[in-house]
Structure 1
Amino acid sequence: MIRNSRRRTEPLDHAELARLLPAPADPQLAANRQDLLEEHLMSEIHRPEHAPAASPVRRPLRRTVLFAAPVAAAAALALVVSLSNSAGTGTVASPQPVKAPVVQIEEGSTVQLASTVHAIAAAATARTTPQPGPGQYIYIKSQVSFMATRHNADTGESVTWVQPLHDREVWKSPDGTKGWLDEPGYQDKGGITLDNDEPRKQLSYKWLAARPADPDAFLESVYSTVSGSRDHDQQAFNEIGSIIREQLVPSGLAASLYEAAGKIPGVVVVEHAQDASGRDGIALARLDPQTGERSEWIFDRDSHQYLGSRGVQVREVNGIKPGTVVERTTILTRAVVDAKNQRPGAGQATA
């Protein structure tokens, strides 16, 4: 090997350092991403005994928004996971993960984007949406499966594991200050509180109800909630996706929400996508340029009702192969109930 002694004795200037070092990660999490990180922290703190012994990949563990957190946040999560595993008490053992499914990647297109968005918006406006009152809670029951990838630093091999499909129930007060999450097998028995004295209002029903009905103005308000150096268009798409998945959208805003999503650069239509229940639908999707994952919102082909979501790896990043399904969700029930931990029954409004 030829060694250049000058490199050892002469300082590097700032320009050369900038070329040699990778770009720093954005240490700031979007507010709702931090909420979801906190909600799902417990869901990944136990690695099953028979899972491969390997160091965590730098991409963070999946959670309902599915969205890659900055490296700093992923490292913090990995540290907490390590500490929690060593403690060995206070939590239930998570079910053993399974290998992630792999699908054929269908190319997206903007040809039918305008007409598809219009149909989805019209269907959302036509549906009756219950309005939560004082003291009531928005209840969302879904089935979910999120990624738990591990990378073997010794061999360079990665295996993408995902949680088995399982139930997830969330209760949220309209103002975002109270809530509860029950995800059996991934938190302590009975669930965990989501109460927050300082709610991040961008995901609350109350915050949504105060948004302008004009699509352009609504989209501007969504962009105002994102920050940092990460792709702002992807962040805006993710924010709206979070609302669709685990929130109740005021009926007067439903059309504007989807029309605003259709205006985000990079959004395409995928003709065939399956939710976690295996239902085939049409999807609004966007490829995250940083993670290589395409987030898909899946709608019934005929009624245009939201079915669930899917995350598909389109470009290999951190050893995750193209076609790997890193996230699957399906909505089972969306309703308004009278109390936290109450499930909808006869006579209660559902959406």
Structure 2
Amino acid sequence: MKELAGLRSEVPRPEPAGLRAEEERLRAAFAAAPAVVSSAAPAARPRKRWISPRLLVAGGLAAAAGAGVLVAVNGSGEDRDGRVVHVMPVAAERVLSKAADNAGRGRELRPRVGQYLVFESRTMDQAEGAFASGYARYLYRTHRKVWYPVKGTSVDGVIIGRSLEPRPYPGWPIPQEAREQAKEPGQGTPERLADFDQRAPFLRTDYAYLSTLPTTPAGMYEHLYTQLGHGPDADAEAWNRVSGMLREAYLPAAQRAALFRAAAAIPGATTVGTARDAYGRTGVAAARNDPRMGLRDEYIFDRKTYQYLGMRTTVTDAAKAKAPVGSVVASSALLKVEVADTAPSPVARRTPG
């Protein structure tokens, strides 16, 4: 069934009107062939329904995916072995679909094991804590350059970071200590990127691992939902996992295109007409609102080339985010990606006092 899901995945997806017509034709085929679906009386636990692959092909593969019948599942979304199954719906978000179409048109990097991918970026994230003036929240900004091994974890990476002038979190003053931190001497010293990396193996973001991921949208969609259930929480986590494969990570063109098409199919994905990254560049964004947090996470792309620029988080619910609707409370900008044979030697991290 996985092979069937990936069949002719390179063919552009049909328009919604065409999908509806195909769905109606498929439903008519089901009605004309009742023996394909079990007619046994339902038990206490829903019975698994099996659909002929031959009928799916005859009725239209895209319509089958849109109707949610591409893989045989029971009412709880499990396969015959009780494993959670995620059927990729028809991708609806257009920015990511366009990005997938253009994934192979830029300069392609081909790093080798033993080398490093070097990412230069700007970031803005929330910071909060107790200061001399009291408890405070503000937006912490950095310019960073990261050497990430082609094969390895963040523990093997090196970072050179520099603090930039902080910005206020809406409704909060910037503490003086935060302003002084941006002027501290000794910045720009190579440090180890992380002291530990406790991510699950399937969340690795080194190139050696990412280059082994599925090249079909359906396969990548299943990867994004690894060990996740069903529902809004699972969809939010799958969308968040996309950011881990974009922010300081590099995928081969085939996996990149598959990632964009898979992300475009995550329930709730939508388009934001204008978005600005942490470097001030304006583009168009694919976004998904997380009503639990009152925030919308956006992936920003160049309007013409659909090259990935960065991401930002904006407020959609003032009460939950404790900031006015439309406020930008996090952002990043990927400025450059290149390959290097070596990385700077990290020095010991500075400790307070």
TM-score of Structure 1 vs Structure 2, range by shorter chain: 0.5 to 0.7
SS of 2:337 mapped into structure 1: strand
Report the CA distance between 1:251 and its aligned residue: 1.8
Question: For residues 282 and 234 of structure 1, do their structure 2 counterparts lie closer, same or farther at Cα, with a shift above 3 Å needed?
Answer: same
Structure 1 counterpart of 2:158, from 175, 180, 191:
180
TM-score (norm 1): 0.58
1:159-170 → structure 2 map (5 Å cutoff): 160-164=137-141, 166-170=142-146
User: 1:36-67: per-residue Cα shift (whole Å, max 9, x none)?
Assistant: xxxxxxxxxxxxxxxxxxxxxxxxxxxxxxxx
Aligned match of 2:252 = 250
User: Residue 306 of structure 1 corresponds to which residue in structure 2?
Assistant: 308
Q: Distance in 1 between matches of 2:298 and 2:342?
A: 32
Counterpart residue number, 2:326: 323
TM-score, length-scaled by structure 2: 0.58
Q: Percent identity?
A: 30
CA distance in 1, matches of 2:112, 2:102: 24
Per-residue CA deviation, residues 143-190 of structure 1 (Å, 9 max, x unaligned), is 1111125699xx9xx9752124x3112221122232122222488943
Distance in 1 (alpha carbons) for counterparts of 2:105 and 2:188: 40
SS in structure 2 at match of 1:124: coil
**Preserved contact between residue 268 and residue 285 of structure 1 (Cα < 8 Å):** yes
CA distance in 2, matches of 1:150, 1:198: 25
SS at structure 2 position matched to 1:181: strand
Aligned to 1:62: none
**Counterpart residue type for residue 194 of structure 1:** A
* Aligned counterparts of 2:95 and 2:197: Cα–Cα separation in 1: 40
Deviations 1:9-49 (A, max 9, x none): xxxxxxxxxxxxxxxxxxxxxxxxxxxxxxxxxxxxxxxxx
Q: Residue 237 and residue 287 in structure 1: after superposition, are their counterparts in 2 closer, same or farther (change >3 A)?
A: same
Do 2:103 and 2:253's aligned partners in 1 also have CA atoms closer than 8 Å?
A: yes
Aligned counterpart for 2:101 among listed residues 117, 122, 136: 122
Bigger radius of gyration among the two: 2
Q: How does 1:50-61 map to 2 (within 5 A)?
A: none
Shift of residue 328, structure 1, vs aligned partner? 1.5
| Cα RMSD after superposing both structures | 3.1
Number of aligned pairs? 226
Deviation at 1:320, TM superposition (A): 2.6
Amino acid at match of 1:163: Y
Match of 1:339 in 2: 342
> What amino acid maps onto 2:116 in structure 1?
Y
The answer to whether the Cα contact below 8 Å between 1:113 and 1:269 also exists between their aligned partners in 2 is: no
Local SS of the residue matching 1:283: strand
**Change beyond 3 A, Cα 1:331–1:193:** closer
Structure 1 unaligned runs (5+)?
1-111, 343-351
- Name the CA shift for 1:259/1:273 in 2 (closer, same or farther; >3 Å): same
**Structure 2, gaps ≥5 residues long:** 1-90, 164-180, 182-186, 346-353
Deviations 1:181-219 (A, max 9, x none): 222248894323437587754222222111111111111
Once the 2 structures are TM-superposed, how far is the Cα of residue 224 of structure 1 from its aligned partner? 0.5
What amino acid is the match of 1:277?
Y
Distance in 2 separating the partners of 1:320 and 1:151: 20
Q: What per-residue deviation string (whole Å, max 9, x for no partner) do you get for residues 203-255 of structure 1?
A: 22222111111111111112115579981111111111121111011122111
2: distance between equivalents of 1:228 and 1:193?
34
Alpha-carbon separation, structure 1, partners of 2:228 and 2:342: 32
Whole-angstrom CA distance in 1 between matches of 2:137 and 2:199: 34
In structure 1, the residue corresponding to 2:220 is in which secondary structure? Answer: helix
Whichever residue aligns with residue 322 of structure 2, its letter is: G
- 1:194 counterpart = 2:194: yes
> What is the one-letter code of the residue matched to 2:102?
A
